[in-house]
Amino acid sequence: MGLISGAIDAALESIGKSLLDVGEWFLETGYTLWKNAGKLTLDYVKISPMSQSGAWGVVTGSVYQMSLAIAASLAVLFFVMGWLRESIDIRNNFTLENMFRFFVRYAITASLIVNSLSLVTGICECATAVTSQISVNMESKDVENVFETVRDQLEDDDDADGGTWIGMGLAGMLGGFFGGAVIMVCGVSLVLSVLSRLFRLLLCVPFAPAAFAGFAGGHEFAQTGIAWLRTFIGYALEAVVIALAISISYGMFKDANMFSAGAKSGSIVSLLLLICGYCMPMVTACACVKGAEMTVRRCLGLG
C-alpha cells in the first residue's frame, strides 16, 4: 500500500507541476501581448495625425474643400445675422465704431477659415512635441518562472502530498488563465483607447472651417467655433494625459507588493495574490488611460 500511495502521490505531484506550467504559459502569453500592445500604444500616442498620410489625405481632401465653401457662405450669413441682432436701433447702434468692430470680426473670421488647416497642424504639432518629452517606461518584472517560488515551497514542505500539488496546480492553471486573459484585455483596451483618440482627432479636422464661421456673428454664434477649439484641443492634449497616466500609474504599481502580505506562504491564496500582483500594473495603467478623456474634458469645461 505504501508503494501504491507513493506512486499516486508522485503522479499527482507531476500533474500538479504540469498544471502550474500551463498557468505560467498563460501568464507569459498575456505578458508578451501586453509588451507588444504597450509598444504600439507608445508609438501611436506620440504620433502626429499628419504622419498618417492616407487618413490625413481623406480629411483634408474634397471633404475639407467642401467645408471651406460652406464656411464662406456661413460666415456671410452669420455676419449679417450678427449685425441685425446688434443693430436693431440703427440711430443709436449703427455707428462707425460698431461698423469697424463688425468688419474686423469678419476679417478675423475669414482669416481663421482660410488658415484653419494651419491652426490644426500647429495644435497637433505642439501636442506631439509635449508628449514626446514625457518619458514612459512600461517594462515590468519578468514573468518567466512565476511559480518557481511556489514549487520550491511545496518541495520543501514535508506535509505537501499529491492532493496539495493538485490543488496548487489547478489554482495556478485557472489563476494563470484568468490573469493572462485580464492582461490581454488590458493591452487591447490600451491600444484601442489611443487609436480612438487619433480617430476622433482626424474626424474633427473637416469641420474646422464651418465651426470657425460662427465667429463672424459674435456672441452666441461664436460658441460653435469655441466648442470646436475646446474639443479639438482636448483631443490633442489627451495624448499628453495618456502618456502621463501610463507613466504615473505604471511607476506606482509595477513593483506593487500590496497583495503579497496577509496570506500563508505556499497556500493557494498566496498563489492567487501573486498572480494579482503581476496583473496590477496592467489593470491600473488601463484604468488611468480610460479616465484620460474625462480628465481633459473636465479641465476644459466640456462636461
Name the nearest CA neighbour of 130 among 48, 225, 190.
48
Does residue 113 register a pLDDT over 50? Answer: yes
> Contact 242/197 with Cβ under 8 angstroms?
yes
> Contact 279/187 with Cβ under 8 angstroms?
no
Does residue 249 register a pLDDT over 60? Answer: yes
Average pLDDT over residues 236-246: 83
More confident residue, 157 or 228: 228
The CA dihedral of 294, 226, 235, 295, to the nearest 10 degrees, is -20
Q: What is the pLDDT of residues 7-64, one digit of tens each?
A: 776 776 677 777 777 888 888 888 888 888 888 888 888 888 888 878 888 888 888 8
- Backbone φ and ψ for 139, nearest 5 degrees, come out as -75, 130
Q: What 8-state DSSP symbol labels residue 220?
A: G
More confident residue, 170 or 151: 170
> What is the predicted pLDDT for the residue at 106?
86
More confident residue, 55 or 303: 55
Does residue 1 register a pLDDT over 50? Answer: no
Name the pLDDT band for 155 (thresholds 50, 70, 90). low
> What is the predicted pLDDT for the residue at 262?
46
More confident residue, 271 or 303: 271
> What is the predicted pLDDT for the residue at 263?
45
% residues pLDDT > 90 (the chain):
2
Does residue 107 register a pLDDT over 50? Answer: yes
Name the pLDDT band for 292 (thresholds 50, 70, 90). confident
Name the pLDDT band for 157 (thresholds 50, 70, 90). low
For the four alpha carbons of 34, 36, 37 and 41, in that order, the dihedral sign comes to: positive
% residues pLDDT > 70 (the chain):
77
Number of neighbours of residue 128 by Cβ within 10 angstroms: 19
> Contact 78/214 with Cβ under 8 angstroms?
yes
Q: What is the pLDDT of residues 135-149, one digit of tens each?
A: 666 665 556 666 677
> What is the predicted pLDDT for the residue at 142?
56
Cα separations (Å) of 250 from 155, 220, 267, 280?
34, 44, 28, 9
Number of neighbours of residue 96 by Cβ within 10 angstroms: 7
- All three cell numbers of 238: 489627451
Radius of gyration of the chain (CA): 30
Which residues does 74 contact at the CB level (< 8 Å), separation at least 6? 210, 213, 214, 216
- Distance, CA of 132 to CA of 239 (rounded, Å): 10
More confident residue, 293 or 194: 194
Cell 518562472, located at residue: 145
- Distance, CA of 230 to CA of 237 (rounded, Å): 10
Q: What is the pLDDT of residues 78-95, one digit of tens each?
A: 888 877 776 665 555 566
Does residue 211 register a pLDDT over 70? Answer: yes
Cell 508578451, located at residue: 32
Average pLDDT over the chain reads 78
- Distance, CA of 48 to CA of 19 (rounded, Å): 46
Q: What is the pLDDT of residues 250-276, one digit of tens each?
A: 777 665 555 555 445 567 777 777 778
